[in-house]
Amino acid sequence: MGPWWVNAKLRWRALRCQHQLFKDYYQSLVPLLELPISRAPLMAMDLEMTGLDPLQDQILSIGLVPIENGAIPLMGAQQKLVQIQGSVGQSATIHGILDNHLTEAVTIEEAMAWFVAQTRGHVLVAHHSPLDCRFLQQDILSIYHQAIVLPAIDTLLLEKHRLLREHSVLKEGSLRLGACRERYGLPIYGAHSALTDALACGELLLAQVASMGGAEELKVGELLAYSR
């Protein structure tokens, strides 16, 4: 699907949406689609969850890292820990977040309001964006009783398309964030957190765009369409 489809979908949503918060959200994205990727305001994101099922599992933390004019201003990086119902259980072995880490965490309602406010006017960037977006969409639907479309540039899919032009079969694990970064000579980050992974994703996108060449001509809408 081409960039025109992304543009049409956002314009239709902005026109038909009854909730002003989300109408404004869509309207803030439409003019960004025609911007060169090097000048567009982007927001790399990552979530840590208790599992992989948005209907059963819960968001534990959200990391957001802005990308502005082809650079990452680290002063704008933010992370929120999110309260959950029950215990983190065995998922702590993956993300390292323990129950006592969440004593000062925000509620899921506060987290979603913060997410929408922080990402308004930014195009999302994520590694395997459907997973993170489904969790966010599920919680936003539960809280606001309004479905939301979250267009995102997916660094995993960008890398998959690139590799499939060179190889007919991809090695297992070749699309993991660390493996993708290694191919571009990016450093391996030891800490596993939403903020660190959001930063790692943002850096990966900049490396991918640089390898494509023509960052001044490459439009946001093209990368969104390419990431589907």
What token pair was written down for 198?
């959001």
* Contact criterion met (CB below 8 Å) for 221 and 35: no
Long-range contacts of 178-182 (CB under 8 A, 24+ apart): 180/127, 180/155, 180/156, 180/204, 181/207
The CATH number of the domain covering residues in 3-227: 3.30.420.10
Outline where the chain has alpha helix (H). 3-16, 20-29, 92-95, 108-119, 129-144, 155-164, 177-183, 194-212, 220-226
Residues 192-202 have pLDDT tens digits of 799 999 999 99
- Which residue has tokens 């459907």? 130
What does the pLDDT look like over 51-66, one tens digit per residue?
999 999 999 999 999 9
Q: Pick 208 or 4 by higher pLDDT.
A: 208
**High-pLDDT (> 90) share of the chain, %:** 72
Q: Please choose, from the candidates 6, 65, 51, 58, the residue with its C-alpha nearest in 3D space to the C-alpha of residue 222.
A: 6
Domain map (residue ranges) of the chain: 3-227
**CA gap 10, 15 in Å, rounded:** 9
pLDDT digit string, tens, across residues 78-119 = 999 999 999 998 888 778 888 888 988 999 999 999 999 999
Pairing between strand 59-67 and 78-81? antiparallel
Give the pLDDT confidence score for residue 18 in this predicted structure: 85
Global pTM reads 0.94
Q: What is the pLDDT of residue 6?
A: 84
Mean pLDDT of 195-221: 90
Element (H, E) at 81: strand 78-81
